[in-house]
Amino acid sequence: MDLKAYLQRVNLRHCAPSSFSSLREIHRHHVHSVPIESLSMHSGEKIILDFSWIYEKIVVRRRGGFCYENNGLFLWVLQQLGYHPKVLAARVLDPKLGIYGPPFDHILMTVELEGRIWLCDVGFGEGIIEPIPLEDGWEEEQDNNVFRLRVEGDEWYLERKEEEVWRILFKFTLEEWTLDDFREMCEYHQTSPCSFFFQKSFCSLQLPCARLTYIGHRLISTKYTKGGGSVKTTQELTEEEIPGLLRDKFGIVLSGKLILKDEDMVMPTLPQ
């Protein structure tokens, strides 16, 4: 890995020795620089769960990716920088269907620094911008919302406050895994009608106190307000406008033709 090239990709000039302040800075810059997107699977490109492949896509070709790609790259970066991240697996709660995704639905990690364990996740669109301490009941307001962690038995829940109501984003345990353990689910999310990524062509980037999201034929602009509020505006797009929008707003130029998609997910048959 060319760490200098990665730092340039996330708009950082240099990286201080491993510390929480440095971890927080890298985490925030990654979230603000690399989109969450499903465009590969809608433009003829198969996603390969391999450090070098992910690095080439996100850093060299300046693309984004879904959780396995973004957090996979971030995992490799932290390892190269001398951190000792531990990989965790989460199951995302679908807010419409009210059910959790299958095991290994989402990848995230922890880093132990300065006497605390920090939860890191640069691959979840509505998630944290900066690491948060892995502590039951921890509550923190970041630029994009208020988050809290709580634990029930051996399961942890990351929640987001929306208009005074706490919504579960996902649940996870502290069992440690490797990137290879997510290969089957990486394939699932590229091919299953039960997957959000398969059913929708989208690209989303966190901005300071805002988020910009392309999906199907729409561009959604979200401005966040204090205490967990937000204001959204939606613009309808023509097919001809979308390549220019992806280039100008997200810095993405696709090598294949994008097949626009915005379909409803199918109820999964996997056990919950």
Query: Closest Cα to residue 190, out of 16, 67, 7, 40?
Result: 40
Based on the residue annotation, tell me whether 29 is a catalytic residue of this protein: no
Q: How many CB atoms lie within 10 A of CB 269?
A: 6
Based on the residue annotation, tell me whether 67 is a catalytic residue of this protein: yes
CA-CA distance, 114 to 167, in Å (whole number)?
30
Contact call for residues 25 and 12 (beta carbons, < 8 A) = yes
Say which of 27, 29, 42, 67 is annotated catalytic.
Answer: 67
| 202-207 and 86-92 strand pairing | unpaired
User: What are the two backbone dihedrals, phi and then psi, of residue 143, each rounded to the nearest 5 degrees?
Assistant: -60, -25
Say which of 121, 186, 189, 194 is annotated catalytic.
Answer: 121
CB contact burial 155-166 (16+ within 10 A = b; e otherwise): ebbbbbbeeeee
Say which of 27, 29, 106, 189 is annotated catalytic.
Answer: 106
Q: How many CB atoms lie within 10 A of CB 11?
A: 10
C-alpha torsion 99→102→106→109, nearest 10: 110
At residue 138, the 3 state secondary structure works out as: coil
Based on the residue annotation, tell me whether 217 is a catalytic residue of this protein: no
Annotated catalytic sites, by residue? 67, 106, 121
